[in-house]
Structure 1
Amino acid sequence: MSRPEDNLPPDLFYNDVESRKYTTSSRIRNIQADMTHRALELLDLREPSFILDVGCGSGLSGEILSSVDPEEGGPHTWVGMDISSSMLAQALERDVEGDMLLADIGQGVPFRPGTFDAAISISAIQWLCNAETSDVSPEGRLKRFFDSLYASLKRGGKAVCQFYPKNAQQRSMISTAAIKAGFGAGILEDDPETKSVKVYLVLSVGGGDVTGAVSGIQDVDVYDSRRRERKRGKEFVEKKEGKAWIMRKKGQMEAKGKVVKASSKYTGRKRKTAF
């Protein structure tokens, strides 16, 4: 079975007919509700929050955000953005509570830095991996999206993006773009051994604890690009100051015919501070 994103761009695929069909299908509504509740569980919000719904469609997820019980940290206020005017028309017809914006997430998230406490996205970001024209690349669209999403979230904010990767390459492309934007990130799979596997990209801003939201759950790959860069830099300094680095440099100089002082048991040993 072909995937919708392989046929047409989302603004063309989700026309009036498809948008109504999507919104009125009880099967799709149930699946969407389950994934939205799962995203909220992973966000682990403890108080009413201001949430961005990326690819909000006809507001199926937004309805759930607006109806979260106060004992579970809700209800939440939300803003949605979607590229399909037909989907947004369905949301307006159903009189959902959130504010909505007609926008292409591949062109970036058009909000001020630090606007949102959190963000969710259900079945949307895989569309960014398709380029409709030769002058647009999936990598560029993913970069604009994740860079601007990172900026739009408050420090310590989280985002959960459920998506359907076509293959391992597409999954890696998406997670790599998020990491390069600065997110701490983890990938979680629900029902990985079945055809109904659900993939969630869990993101945090400014050192937020990704694993805290999914404590005790297996098969979570956690990344933090800035921590990795710091670690890489530290390792480089340690090698540069150590005996192995000195011996390697001496070998390079000898190969060039230069005179090098003979090594001894004291080579590379740190000296005590002289007073």
Structure 2
Amino acid sequence: MPRPEDSGPPELFYDANEANKYTSNTRIIEIQQQMSERALELLALPCDSPALILDLGCGSGLSGEVLEENGHFWVGCDISQSMLDIALEREMEGDVLLSDLGQGVGMFRPGMFDGAISVSALQWLCNSNSSKENPFKRLFAFFTTLYSCLKRNAKVVLQFYPDSPQQAELIVRQATRAGFNGGLMVDFPNSTKAKKVYLVLSCGDMTFQMPRALGENDGTQCVYTANERVRLGRVDKKAMSRKQWVLKKKDRMRKLGKQVANDSKYTGRKRSKKF
């Protein structure tokens, strides 16, 4: 099934017809609200006072509506004018502005927000629709400016749909370069329909611990972190045996839902040279 990101730029894909369809589909609304509520839960905001939250890729305001119902204030950014027009028609309480997340969110003053969420938007930054669009630079601009506009120790929860492990690794790597701590978390990793990927980040909190994922074992499903990449690529690969390194890499691929060969006594052995 083709992905929306492969059909062209988001500002063209989400035209007036697609924006109306997106906001009137009860199934989409239900899923959007569920993921927004989960993102808000993962932010772990104090219960005794309202917070100012940045909604990245706010669309027609479905996520903002969840924030409002929980007593928070919000500001939303989106690249689709059609989506923002519907948000204005729905008379949402949050402020919305037209913005390309790939250009960053430098329009906000430093330390402005108590947290940030995003639902189904981050993967769009990984696509190049012209020779001028570089996913590496766009992601780095996004994360560096996002880090700047958040308060110290604020959290960020970004739900998205990675199309490959390499894309997920790129996103986490660029977030870490910008100064964030954290990684990916997968709710219901063994379910085809219920599986959801969240990038959970902390702004400057070196003691940050990944939250628990939802699933059968109710255990943390952190499938990729930048620190893990450093250990595998620069330290552990040299310190551990070839077989240990291969087994660890295969285990990580299984957590990503990839099919890998079963382990055996031959795992990690070098192939004999061809005659």
Query: How high is the sequence identity, in percent, across the aligned residues?
Result: 52
Q: 2:135 aligns with which of 134, 138, 141?
A: 138
> Which amino acid in 2 is paired with 1:36?
S
Residue aligning to 2:254: none
SS in 1 for 2:153: strand
Hey, what's the Cα distance between the residues in 1 that align with 2:160 and 2:109? 25
Offset from partner CA, 1:142-176 (integer Å, 9 cap, x none): 01000100111010101000000001111111111
Report the alpha carbon displacement of residue 223 of structure 1 after superposing the two structures with TM.
4.5
> Residues 165-208 of structure 1, C-alpha deviation per residue, up to 9 Å, x if partnerless?
00111111111111111100121101211222210000101116
What's the offset of the Cα at 1:213?
4.0
Pairing of 1:1-275 with structure 2 (within 5 A): 1-46=1-46, 47-68=49-70, 75-109=71-105, 110-196=107-193, 197-207=195-205, 209-211=207-209, 213-214=211-212, 217-221=219-223, 223=225
Letter in 2 for 1:34: Q
Residues in 2 aligned to 1:187 and 1:212: alpha-carbon distance in whole angstroms: 9
The alignment covers a number of residue pairs equal to: 223
Distance 1:32 1:50 in 2: 20
Q: Give secondary structure in 1 for the equivalent of 2:58.
A: coil
CA distance in 2, matches of 1:92, 1:42: 28
CA–CA distance in structure 2, aligned partners of residues 150 and 120 of structure 1: 13
Q: Which amino acid aligns with 2:177?
A: K
- Asked if the contact 1:186–1:211 (Cα under 8 Å) also holds between the matched residues in 2, the reply is no
Report the Cα distance in structure 2 between the residues aligned to 1:5 and 1:18, rounded to whole angstroms: 14
Match in the other structure for 1:251 = none
Moved more, 203-212 or 11-20: 203-212
Partners of 2:169 and 2:62 in 1: CA distance? 28
Say which SS state the counterpart of residue 179 (structure 2) adopts.
coil
Superposition deviation, residue 221 in structure 1 = 4.9
- CA shift, 1:222, in A, is 7.1
RMSD: 2.0
Three-state SS of the structure 2 residue aligned to 1:33 is: helix
> 1: CA distance between counterparts of 2:29 and 2:103?
28
Whose radius of gyration is greater, 1 or 2?
Answer: 1
CA deviation after TM superposition for structure 1 residue 60, in Å: 0.1
The whole-number CA distance in structure 1 between the counterparts of 2:138 and 2:109 is 19
The structure-2 alpha-carbon separation of the partners of 1:208 and 1:7, relative to structure 1 and needing over 3 Å to count, comes to same
Mapped contact 1:159–1:203 kept (Cα < 8 A): yes
Cα distance in 2, alignment partners of residues 111 and 82 from structure 1 = 14
Q: Matched residues in 1 for 2:36 and 2:119: separation?
A: 7
TM-score of the superposition, structure 2-length normalised?
0.77
Q: What amino acid does structure 2 have at the position aligned with 1:44?
A: A
Q: Distance in 2 between matches of 1:117 and 1:220?
A: 24
Q: What secondary structure sits across from 1:219 in the alignment?
A: coil
AA aligned opposite 2:76: G
Task: Please state whether the residue corresponding to 1:218 is helix, strand or coil.
Answer: coil
Q: Report the more deviating stretch, 28-37 or 207-216.
A: 207-216
Rounded to whole Å, the distance in 2 between the matches of 1:135 and 1:6 is 17
Q: Identify unmatched segments of 5+ residues in structure 1.
A: 69-74, 236-275
CA contact (8 A) 2:187 2:221 kept: no
Query: Deviation per CA, 1:24-56, whole angstroms, max 9, x where unpaired?
Result: 100000000110111011111113111000000
Alpha carbons of structure 1 residues 122 and 208: separation in structure 2 relative to 1, 3 Å: farther
Return the offset for 1:210. 3.6
